Structure 1
Amino acid sequence: MSDLSEYKESTALENIDAYLDGEELTEEEAQQLEQWIKTDSQNADQAFRRVFLHSYLRQRFQTRAIGEMQARELASQKQEPLILPSESEIEIKPEPKSQPQKATRSQPRRRHPLLSWRWMLLFGIGIVSTFNLAVLFIKDFQIPYDEDKAFEQPINFDSDYMKKTFLMARVAAQPFLYEGFDYSQEELTEKETEGVNGLNGGVGWAGPWIDEGPIYASIVHDTKKKNLGKNDMRLFGTLGFSDQYGNMLLTKGGQYRTGQVSESVSVRHIDLQQVPHALSDSKGFGADGEILWFSFMAQSYDNAGDGRYAYIDFGNEESSLRIGKLASAVRGNWAAAGQVNGTEINTASSDVLSGQAVLVVGRILFRPGAEEVDLWLNPVLNKIPELDEVDLRLMAPDLRIERVKIVSRYSTDFDEIRVGVSFVDVIPAHEHDDNE
């Protein structure tokens, strides 16, 4: 047996770290480590704490690289009870009073495993139950989760730390569906088809845009040069957004302009393989219990209503959500409604004029049956909007989103269509922005 008199605690912990990092221990190191652990219950406790710390730090680093759904799966593991081996299975041997005899050269050395099965079991428990161990020895090994108390203290978004953290999240935003209409003039000139037919930029789409209406839509780069006269509200510049604190939305290139007089219709289908798995079920994209965020910018020629319309439609032909200037909103302000078999239902109208440029940020809570839709118009970008600050709220028909359609009979511009799983996914910032 190896001599433990000079075997230090620091050496034992270093060997544990090395083993957990995938390094191989020599037979002598493994034997010394095992004897050190078995010698004293305090040593066993130190080893167990080391395993927990190593596993916890690894899990923390991994969590930073995973998505929202995986994070929720990890959080759910906190609710699973921890099962420890019984005391009879853990053998703690007291330190021998006499000095152990050293093995002679003539004696064959017994092959010793790196660690006994009991301690391999403990190591496994430490890795599997990283989060469970955080609540050991507190209130009978378990802290009950109280959702009402979980958010009693609101996040202070005014702190410098939260401002910088939120800005970094916006810079790293990754919507799974995006169309910025940033097609160059050269691309548009070389394109063989008219309108937006064949344009295939962005992220998350199954194919290019298809014009279906009698009038073609177009891509505009300079609204000051391309306009419909002195009464065109879009004369002042291209679509963009900056909130009251100076936070700016990241925008690119040109913007989509609908046709006028007659109806223009542009359709683009979503690549459902790019939709996060949790958002889909056997019926398609729109699984009950999940939350979807989206945003886009828009501005119409002027504020006219009385049956005029220009809107974005999320869904399919049977049911969808329409947002924009709606025929069912008589005043012509920005509005939203559900659509069932071509009929607008449950229309909600805002106080914001459709001739005014607007950033629309929406949240869909998919429920069994009708969906809950909340819309914020021109929200601040440095914090998640509150539910009591919504500009429009309505119930939409059961949605299965297959495509995005832009329909208009009144010249209107749309830009920066984003769909994601969080608020920050749909309000990205430039990496050089500073919201202080």
Structure 2
Amino acid sequence: MSLTNRILIAMVVGIVVGSVLNLLLATDSLTAAHQAWVRTWLVDGVFDVVGKVFIASLKVLVVPLVFVSLVCGSASLGNSARMGPIAIKTILAYLATTAIAISLALLVARIVSPGSGVELAGDVSFEAKSPPPLTEVIINIFPSNPVAAMAEGNMLQIIVFALLFGYAISHAGEHGRRIAGFFEDMDAVIMKMVEILISLAPYGVLALLARLFTDLGLSAILDLGAYVLTVLAVLLLHALGVYSLILSLLVRVSPLVMIRKMRPVWAFAFSTASSGATLPVTLRTVEKRLGVDNSVAGFTVPLGATVNMDGTAIMQGVATVFIAQVYGVDLSLGAYLTVILTATLASIGTAAVPGVGLITLALVLRQAGLPLEGIALIIGVDRILDMVRTAVNVTGDAMVSVVVARSEGQFNQKIYDDPYADMEASARPSHGSGH
């Protein structure tokens, strides 16, 4: 069985097991002793430990992978003067797709009206964290201590230092060539570590989803059904529709190929709800399965995992309309334009802040003149939706990487079209070579 199918089966089993355990624990179908055993040993024990170890194993690869990949990419581009244009194209592409995402979300939410008929919950409250000022965000992009940036996992600072380091390698003559060779060897070793971890993914995915659905159950989704379905519909429309259209028009390749090859990445993103934790798998897939050269992928994917939040922008758009309808506030055209601009810029402006989704939503609601207490209405289902929108975010990272690589002549369409590219990770069938 291919790794993709094993991960998908693990997802289904985890959701089913978690939902069943949630029902058993909620309805007192088990004796007190059995409930204690299920909660203590199975849910808080096996599922929690396996899931957290899996997440930690993913995160431990993120910093070395980002740093080494970016150093290799910028070193190879250092003498070609293409790093600047690649950076500009990448940032503009991420901003454009984010603006499209939130515009689509606002449009669909206005048509569906998910907040109509929803009663306010008077006993809930939400205290929003203040986003940092823009000047502080800009200053914090540049590292004063690269070692501290790596220790703290500050992606933007790591990206800046890696680009500078790689550029210096490309201009250091023979010394630089020796160091570049070392980093290329390091890149191969880290990719092998990613491959080993991917092979264990089904167990981690099952444990994470079983724990989550034991705690939440399916009732949390059903209580806000219209809101949840609207967000999910726009997420799917953006990921499968907008991204496919962009690939077809700008790259002239079949988007179905990318959709098939992104399935394992989606499983990781769905299970971890973290673009950062999924980054090792995303980068490997973009390079080895979608045919994007490391000199481009090493920049676009880590940057996307840090600043590209199309899925989050969609949630903000639907949530804004939902909260406005619940509180009976009629938003003007100017308010909608403000929401689009604020959410688009916030995707980069608050990228380094923990809890960025709710913080940027609070910022958007402030600009639209809506009560921040409305966020409390959707907190219960946000964890589930966060998993899906993370899958959309990583798909956007991959799509933009392909588009930028094509424009730079760093795209290998033979690898993209080959269904069995990167045979170690995709479990090439034994009955055919694929060539």
Greater relative contact order (Cα < 8 A, sep 6+): 2
TM-score surpassing 0.5?
A: no
Structure exhibiting the larger radius of gyration computed from Cα positions = 1
TM-score (norm 2): 0.24
**Higher fraction of strand:** 1
**Higher fraction of helix:** 2
